[in-house]
Amino acid sequence: QAKREGVRFARFDRTTRSLSPQQLTLEADLHYALQRQELEVFYQPIYDAGNHRVSSVEALLRWNHPRLGRVSPAEFIPLAESSGLILTIGSWVIQQACRQLSLWHEHTPGLSVSVNLSARQFRHRDLVGVVRQSLEANGLPPDCLVLEITEGILVDVPDAEQVLHEFRQLGINISLDDFGTGYSSLSYLRRFPLTHLKIDKSFLEGLEEGGTNASIVRSVVTLAHSLGLHVTAEGIETQAQADYVHAVGCNNLQGYLLARPMPAQQCSELLRAASG
């Protein structure tokens, strides 16, 4: 519920925002974070359920704050969105992820990268251009990029559908993140040109005992597959969860059990080891 409010706030004038003194300080610091090289993109491996190899990585932003240490994206992404800084920061993440992927392609050809997008970026005219240029500048095939969006974007951004069609025409993949946490979104699965669906980690609790979550996950996989969507289960922390989502046919697995988000260098080592 709180999350939803945040998305809405971003639409209004700055003066309607109510930020605590700590948040205002953090926002002021965020203005300089990029040029002071305090931001870093971590990568979390995503595994193919069939061959158990890394098929893609998700780019996850980190802020190494000089005084506060590592600040969580859950804290600073909302500030980046409400202040508009997400446009610059988000473009930087896209560029970083594409450059990194082109290096990884030297030893791990079919690897994909997933990049999270916020509503604010979606409302910006130039998003498609930024993405296309980043792919071209790094000589990447468009189908190795997955853009992760949330249901909030589909609801709040008037021309989300049009923008998504532009991405799909370029051959770029679109994943609906945190599926099941927002709205009753079954009609969105049909209406928007999606290629992937990520079942939110909140549905993995208690999977091993059966019950409601187990039924939901099984049904969502069936539904998604009938619509031709690839399904990723995120937040896998136990072997029992991995076994369950594997058994019901999830295509990809992501979570601490398999690998945590890590710096690019460490991810390079993991990929190299895996590519033999």
We find the least distance from the C-beta atom of residue 144 to Ca ion, in angstroms, to be 17
* Among positions 40, 48, 73, 262, the unique one binding ligand C2E when judged by CB under 6 A: 73
118 binds ligand C2E, rule: CB under 6 A: yes
User: Cα–Cα distance between 94 and 115 in angstroms, integer?
Assistant: 7
Whichever of 62 and 168 has its CB closer to ligand C2E, that residue is 62
We find the least distance from the C-beta atom of residue 273 to ligand C2E, in angstroms, to be 20
Nearest Cα to Cα of residue 76 among 6, 146, 149: 6
Cβ burial, residue 109 (10 Å; 0-12/13-18/19+)? exposed
We find the least distance from the C-beta atom of residue 132 to ligand C2E, in angstroms, to be 18
We find the least distance from the C-beta atom of residue 81 to ligand C2E, in angstroms, to be 7
- Cβ–Cβ under 8 Å, residues 122 and 157: yes
61 binds ligand C2E, rule: CB under 6 A: yes
Longest distance between any two alpha carbons in the chain, whole Å: 55
256 binds ligand C2E, rule: CB under 6 A: yes
Q: What are the phi and psi torsion angles at 201 (to 5°)?
A: -65, -20
Residue 236 touches which member of Ca ion, ligand C2E, none, C-beta under 5-8 Å by kind: ligand C2E
We find the least distance from the C-beta atom of residue 204 to ligand C2E, in angstroms, to be 8
236 binds ligand C2E, rule: CB under 6 A: yes
We find the least distance from the C-beta atom of residue 136 to Ca ion, in angstroms, to be 24
Residue 115 DSSP SS3: strand
269 Rama class: left (phi>0) / alpha (psi -120 to 50) / beta:
alpha
Q: Using CB under 6 A, which of the segments 5-13, 55-63, 162-170, 262-270 binds ligand C2E?
A: 55-63
- Cβ–Cβ under 8 Å, residues 248 and 235: no
Residue 93 touches which member of ligand C2E, Ca ion, none, C-beta under 5-8 Å by kind: ligand C2E
Give, as ranges, the residues between 160 and 199 that touch ligand C2E (CB under 6 A).
Answer: 177-178
Tokens read off for 166: 């532009």
* Among positions 7, 39, 71, 93, the unique one binding ligand C2E when judged by CB under 6 A: 93
29 binds ligand C2E, rule: CB under 6 A: no
> How does 5-34 read in b/e, with b if 16+ C-beta sit within 10 Å?
ebbeebeeeeeebeeeeebeebbebbeebe
Q: Using CB under 6 A, which of the segments 45-53, 104-112, 253-261, 267-275 binds ligand C2E?
A: 253-261
**What would the 3-class secondary structure string for 122-183 be?**
HCCCCHHHHHHHHHHHCCCCHHHEEEEECHHHHHHCCCHHHHHHHHHHHCCEEEEEEECCCC
We find the least distance from the C-beta atom of residue 156 to ligand C2E, in angstroms, to be 14
* Among positions 72, 169, 215, 219, the unique one binding ligand C2E when judged by CB under 6 A: 72
| Residues contributing to the site for ligand C2E (CB under 6 A) | 44, 59-61, 72-74, 77, 90, 93, 116-118, 148, 177-178, 201, 234-237, 255-256, 261
